[in-house]
Structures are given as C-alpha cells and as structure tokens.
Amino acid sequence: MKCPFCSFEESKVIDSRPTDEGERIRRRRECMSCGKRFTTYEIIESVPIVVVKKDKSREVFDRDKLFNGMMRACEKRPVSVDVIERAIDDIEAEIQNSLDREVTSVKIGELVMDKLKEIDEVAYVRFASVYRQFKDINTFMSELKKLLIEE
C-alpha cells in the first residue's frame, strides 16, 4: 500500500476492523518511512460469472434460475430445500473456482445432473429429460439403462 504522504510502498497495519455493514474492512496503517498514519478500506471484489447459452447469447449467472430448475426436478420428492441449497453452493463454488469468467450453460447443466444423480435418481431423470430434450421413449430408456448400469 503506497503512503499518500510520501509514496513509500511499505506500511504496517495498526488496527483492523469491519465497517458497520460488515461489507468492508477498515485498516489503520502506518508508513514505514515517514511514520504518518492513514486509513484504507478493503472490499471483496465481485466478478460476475457470465453464462454462454446454446444460442451463443450471454447473461449473468442467476442462482435463482438454478434453484428453480432443481426445485422443479425435485418436486414431490423427499429432497429438502437445504440439500438443494448445498448442491447449488457446491456448483457455484466450482464455477467460481475455475479461472474462467464465462461458463457454458452445457457445463452448468452437467454439474446440476451430477449433483442430482447423487441426491435423487428420479429428480436426475426428470432434469435430464428436459435438459437433454429426450425426443422419444427410446432415448429416455437408454438414459435409464445407463443409470442402472452405474449402480
């Protein structure tokens, strides 16, 4: 951190505390060269994730959309909202931890299907049938056979 008085690049933190909202950290610093004190504020940088859809259009990642899709797949199934929220947290963390700021909707769909396969097989098949756009009963049966073979 560059000193605002003498432009020296080293300072030490004397005091650190969150601001009222808890959104930022206030730091009191002392310049290692001139000894003057100054205050800095530290915030978390939020870089939005952009979803590249199948038609090549782009939109900002929407957690609610993911939640709604998974809730629809889990409708009338013994799956709690907490389980779905944790799965979404895992999916979102995996996307955030990748170095890319853009992710394809196909990748998100695959991540959702992997989670649903662990949570509830019926919900997985429901989601897969919409996501993979099963054309007929044969495509549906081949997906079910894959699921049975994996067990």
Looking at residue 20, its pLDDT comes to 72
* Model confidence band, residue 126 (pLDDT cutoffs 50, 70, 90): confident
Q: Which two tokens stand for residue 99?
A: 């170095």
- Residue 150 or residue 118, greater confidence: 118
Burial of 78 (0-12, 13-18, 19+ CB in 10 A): exposed
Residue 95: count other Cβ atoms within 10 Å of its Cβ.
Answer: 17
Q: What is the Cα Rg of the chain in Å?
A: 24
pLDDT of residue 28: 95
Instruction: Report whether pLDDT(146) > 70.
Output: yes
**pLDDT tens, residue by residue, 28-84:** 999 999 999 999 988 877 778 899 998 999 999 999 999 999 999 999 999 999 999
The token pair at 105 is 């909707």
Q: Residue 43 burial (CB < 10 Å; 0-12/13-18/19+)?
A: exposed
**What pLDDT is recorded for position 135?**
67
* CA 151 centroid distance within chain: 29
Q: Per-residue pLDDT averaged across 1-15, rounded? A: 93
Going from N- to C-terminal start, the domains of the chain cover: 11-43, 50-150
Residue 72: closest CA among 122, 143, 135: 122
In this predicted structure, the answer to whether residue 12 has a pLDDT above a threshold of 70 is yes
What does the DSSP 8-state code read for residue 94? H
Q: Which two tokens mark 62?
A: 């929407």
At 142, list the tokens.
């081949």
